Amino acid sequence: MEFTAFSDKLASLDAEIAKTEGFLDQLRKERISLLHNYNISHSPLLRLPTEVTTKIMLECCQSDTNDDDDDDEPEMLDPLFLGSICPMWRDIAWETQNLWRTVNLTLSRNRYHNQVRLLNEWLPRAGEGPLHIRVMAKTSEQDWTEPPFPHEVLRTFASYSRLWARVTLFIPYACWMDIGLVSGNLPLLKSLSISFTDSLYHDNCVIGVFHDTPLLEELSLRDIFLKDFISGCWNQLQHLTLKSYCADECLEALRRTPNLISLKFQDINPPDEFPIPYDEIIHLKCLDSAVFIFDIISKFAGDFLNCMAAPSLRQLDITLREDSEDIPFSSIRTLMSRCSSSLTHLRLEGTIDKSEDVIHCLRDAPLLRSLVLFFANEPEGVENQTIGLLGSALYSGDFLNELEQLIFTAHFDTIPSKFVRMLGNRWAVTQIRNDATADNNAKAFPPLSQLRKAHIEAIFSSEVHLSEEAHVHLELLLNDGMDICLRTPHGIIFPIQK
């Protein structure tokens, strides 16, 4: 075959191949289109009524925007992601204003300009409904201690303050003045949390914008002068969290919030301007839960607690971080005596001087269902006395009869056999009492609850001895359903991790 004929034949074949490949490409496109249209018409997800799809989207986009944890981002989806699934979902997402009323923004220097642009598109889509806002400037990933600062983001949010409902701000202090644009226009605000990335105590400017908050129920503040809030509607507050405030400021806040249901005061510092104790006792008639974390000496902590009365208090958590100071048990007992025997949950952390102080304090709370003890020092005999009394209550019924949960952290070198027996007795209380009653028909026992959870931790002890007999008994309780855990600083020693 001559070269010319060969070239013509080869070109003819190439042309035929190209024509065939083009035809195949067209068939593939038709096939994809056919499958897509079939899936749209037959997919259960895409055939859902618009109302159901909208409900699913709203559930996916919900989160707790009032979370005080500065390091955890809420696990949630956003309408931008949902709108990218398919054209139908995009149309629904773009038209559903409620989807855009939750804003979770983690400020990023690298993406800041895009975030500003997106925010200006996002907020108008929310309409005039209440906004749930969470703005976090994470110090672990971004350095917000130096300019430029995210002023534009804060000012944009402030311009929508009339729609604020639940707001959490963890921002650089340099942006504090941007909040001044709120100008007291907060008719829907129910929950507010403000703290700064640079947590040093600042010479704050009082911006005075939170005086008119008729619906505010939850307030969490850190390193902000209370003068910005003192003139506000404190009477309706139900939940209050203050971090890094002086004891006298905390008491003044309590005096102005008689209807509190829960409070948490963290890092309470020595009093600044006003003397303690107060001349009056602050009555918190609705208080159900109280957490106090003191960074002051025991005397000031005791004087602080002596200023309060909470007849409805059910949960009390007290931590004294000053290692050289003992827990002020006398003041705790005074506070508990004003609780009308309502206390059911108690947590104490710190150092103690005498084990008798612990026992007397626990006797003053006969209705406790949950007890958490964390003793940083080694109080002689407190473990044995507490464990012994819990065990003897099986028959005497005079020590923590309602207890269902025990978490005990102290110095343990050996898990005593009486502890294992106590757990067995308080777990199988009904059977043991039935057997005892059968032997002595005249004896009647007072009510006693079943201890369902027992977690014991030994601090500063790398090894804790657990006898083989004790291990067998604990294994039986574990298999029977009791929640048991024994640990040391090096890990869990029971149950054995497989």
Average pLDDT across each block of 10 residues of the chain; the chain has 498 residues. List them in order: 78 89 90 80 74 87 55 64 83 90 89 91 93 84 73 93 94 85 84 82 60 88 72 82 88 90 91 62 94 83 90 94 78 89 90 82 89 77 65 62 87 72 78 57 65 84 73 89 87 78
| Predicted local distance difference test score (pLDDT) of residue 116 | 93
pLDDT score recorded for residue 382? 61
Instruction: Determine the pLDDT at residue 66.
Output: 47
Give the pLDDT confidence score for residue 185 in this predicted structure: 78
> Residue 270: what pLDDT?
79
Q: Which helix (H) or strand (E) holds 319?
A: strand 315-320
* Range 143-146 contact pairs with CB under 8 angstroms and sequence separation of 24 or more: 143/109, 144/107, 144/171, 144/172, 144/197, 144/198, 145/172, 145/197, 145/198
The radius of gyration of the chain's CA atoms, rounded to the nearest angstrom, is 32
The pLDDT assigned to 140 comes to 58
State the pLDDT at residue 232. 61
Q: Give the angle 62-68-74 at the CA atoms, nearest 5°.
A: 30
Question: Residue 379: how many CA atoms within 13 Å on its side-chain side?
Answer: 24
Per-residue exposure over 298-323, b if at least 16 CB sit within 10 Å of its own CB, e if not: bebbbbbbbbbbbeebbbbbbbbeee
Sign of CA dihedral 80, 81, 83, 86: positive
Alpha carbon 452 to its chain centroid, in Å, reads 24
pTM of the shown model: 0.81
Report the distance separating Cα 190 and Cα 170, nearest Å: 18
Interacting residues of 161 by C-beta distance below 8 A, sequence separation 6+: 181, 182, 183, 185, 186
Joined together, the tokens standing for residue 17 give 């191949």
What does the pLDDT read at residue 44? 72
